A and B are shown apart, each in its own frame.
Chain A
Amino acid sequence: MKPLRIALTKGRLESKTLDLFDQMGLDTSVVRNKGRRLILPVGDSIEVVLAKAADVITYVEHGVCDLGVVGKDTITEAGGSFYELLDLGFGKCRFALAAPKDKEFFGGYATKTIASKYPNVTAAYFAKKNMDVRIIKIEGSVELAPLLDLADGIVDIVETGSTLKENGLEVVEEVMPISARLIANTAALKLRKAEIEALLDQFEKLL
């Protein structure tokens, strides 16, 4: 039987998932001492693939990985067609709309400009509010855009809010909560039902 292949988002989600595997009694030593390898075994029944968040979705959608662990932020931004089986409960943070402290964000009739690394999340959020905004995609520190007067506000991931505070911004509204999710390829869940459900049960017991 070939192992279940699970794509993990490199970094914190990866180590949290490995902790869960440890608690299940699986041997994660190879992944923890991985060197530069990107495909690694966990016990006999699981194979881990390490990838960037958006790529986890791509690999699962195409079925080259059966399962994936990825943040809700990436799922919401990238979309795609797969099963979202479990809220793993870690990697918690939120999407929020933030703006300079001293200004009334929703005031006035001028069209607002929003800077974000997540243009789709931003567009969906304002569309729901029936608000026409101009969206500018920023790749790095989004907080800069309002400071430089490029944008009226930002939509970004907020954990503690300290970066916002230090840059004179504050949360105007929460957009949505975020945490890590276990996703599955549509065909894999059907073709390998027993194995995936067994793993799912073990995850659920630990959460």
Chain B
Amino acid sequence: MQQTIFTTPAGMQDLLFEESRARRQVEKNLTDLFAGRGFAEVMTPGMEFARTVAASSAAMPEEELYKLTDTRGRLLVARPDNTIPIARMVASRLRGEIFPVRLYYAQTVYTLNHGLYGHRDEEFQVGVELLGAGGAKADLEMIALAASAMKACEAGDFRLEIGHADVFNSLIGELPVSDDDRATIRELIENKNYAALNTALDALPESDAVRAIRLLPRLFGGEEVLETLRPLIGSPAAVAALDSLSSLYRALVALGLGDQLMIDLGMVHRNDYYTGVIFRGYLEGSGEIILSGGRYDNLLSRYGMDMPAIGFAIHVDSVAKLRQSGDASRPVPQVLIHAEAGFETAALAEAEAMLADGVVCEVSPFETTEQARAYAESRGISRLWTVGEEGNE
């Protein structure tokens, strides 16, 4: 026991000074943006019933959930994601509301990572959900908002990529494959494992759908990738997906996002969860996915409320890491106010006055001026302000 009382559990960490300041700043930029665009904040509890999470279409891997039980032995999980609890909440508490409902959140999620690879088990996310709005207009608004959010991170150049769940889902639907093979092929596309994908597809009779799937992992870039795929697709759902990506792309270029925008037709992650457009954001200088989101029209129906929805989350810790100035020292106030005996209240009034002037001050808890001066010197506080008989100095 002695060895562990000073350490934090794997994947969890304290944030001191600069680290917490950087996180708060990103949080503030984002929540200001979302609030200004008519999204209202909600908070959900740190724990959910495991059953609630399992009911979702999100397929959270069981081994990655932090679990415990309540007083009646029911299985609880530490909030593994923000969208599932919000879907649960909307389907129960907001059932009678006027839709669409726009919500934002700023809270942590928990993932049980195995092995010491330096992943975060506790992660802070800020995100938005637009509930009860389907269609191209909502897609465009949310992707444009995602771009604004990437800008609001104020952490340098970014890229935003868009894809569509129906591209892969309708192509794979044309192939004579088992569910297992389907999962394998999906994973090979997601990992852009060109070699193994070809091997897996070689076992199937050659068709346009097979040729199209072979290409998917390489189809990322500008608008031209849509035209590369177009001759190989026939199903109405896939055609509609390409058309919607095409018009989204043009609209986003018209918004001045041409240099940041990419299309990736090989984005097939969580393909049972996302039902339409999918998007991700990256920041120059970070190897992590900074923003992820998409349309999830099937999730709410799992909670008895059939309704379209689209949302995204920003992985704030990854952004904050880029924004840290490198100065990890403890902040130093500008002034130390020391009260001589009998002038304690006067000193507090001085502190209030300085606060009003925007001067950062600390009030001295020391008995003597000498002690206060020694403290100010060792902390590097440039001004000692004594309040006493002789007036202030």
Contacts and interface: CB of A to CB of B under 8 A. Distances in A.
B191 A82 contact: yes
Contacts of B262: 190, 193
Contacts of B193: 83-85
B287 A186 contact: yes
A63 B192 contact: no
Nearest to A66: B287
B287 A63 contact: yes
B117 to A, nearest CB: 6
Contact of B288 (A87, A187, A189): A187
Nearest to A72: B196
A190 B282 contact: yes
Interface of B: 115, 117-118, 159, 161, 191-196, 220-221, 262, 264, 282-284, 286-289
Given A80-B117, A86-B194, A190 B159 contact: yes
A137 B195 CA distance: 30
A188 B196 contact: no
B287 A185 contact: yes
Contacts of B221: 193
B117 A84 contact: no
Q: For chain A, which range describes its interface: under 10, 10 to 19, 20 to 34, or 35 or more residues?
A: 20 to 34
9 contacts: A60-B287, A64-B287, A82-B191, A84-B195, A85-B192, A188-B287, A190-B159, A190-B262, A190-B264
A83 B192 contact: yes
Interface in A146-199: 181, 184-191, 193
Nearest to B282: A187
Contacts of A186: 287, 289
A62 B196 CA distance: 24
Contacts of B283: 187
Given A187-B288, A190-B161, A191-B159, A61 B117 contact: yes
Chain A interface main SS type: mixed
A84 to B, nearest CB: 4
B195 A87 contact: yes
A184 B161 CA distance: 17
Contacts of B117: 58, 61, 80
A82 B187 CA distance: 11
A187 B290 CA distance: 9
Contacts of B159: 190-191
A193 B220 contact: yes
Contacts of A191: 159, 282, 284
Contacts of B196: 84, 87
Contacts of A84: 191-193, 195-196
Nearest to B262: A190
B195 A62 contact: no
A186 B220 CA distance: 12
A187 B287 contact: yes
A85 B288 CA distance: 18
A40 B364 CA distance: 53
Output the residue of B262, B284, B287 with the most chain A CB within 10 A: B287
The 5 closest A-B pairs by CB, nearest first: A63-B287, A87-B195, A83-B192, A84-B193, A187-B282
